[in-house]
Amino acid sequence: MNLNVKVYEKLLEVPEGRITTYKELANAVGLKNGSRVIGNIMKKNPFPILIPCHRVIKSNGEIGGYTNGKKTKFSISVSYTHLTLPTNREV
């Protein structure tokens, strides 16, 4: 299985209204220090709403990049009424 597909499938496991980080997603697919790799994969996401790359943020809580711009990513992210960081940090 190609890495992009593996990452997109793992991202689909993040429930609506929840977020994860590039680092957590990298760890979930077995990439040590793979945050930049995840960012590049998210940038190439062919279906940015169906594969919810807007649910991935930086470890410091910042929004990070988005295909349609950070402003759009922020708007999508805050549209969740129960947007919180998961306490158990599972992806």
Positions marked active-site: 53
The answer to whether 72 touches 66, Cβ cutoff 8 Å, is yes
Give the C-alpha separation, 14 to 21, whole Å. 11
Within 13 A of 65's CA, how many CA atoms are on the CB side?
Answer: 11
Give the C-alpha separation, 49 to 45, whole Å. 9
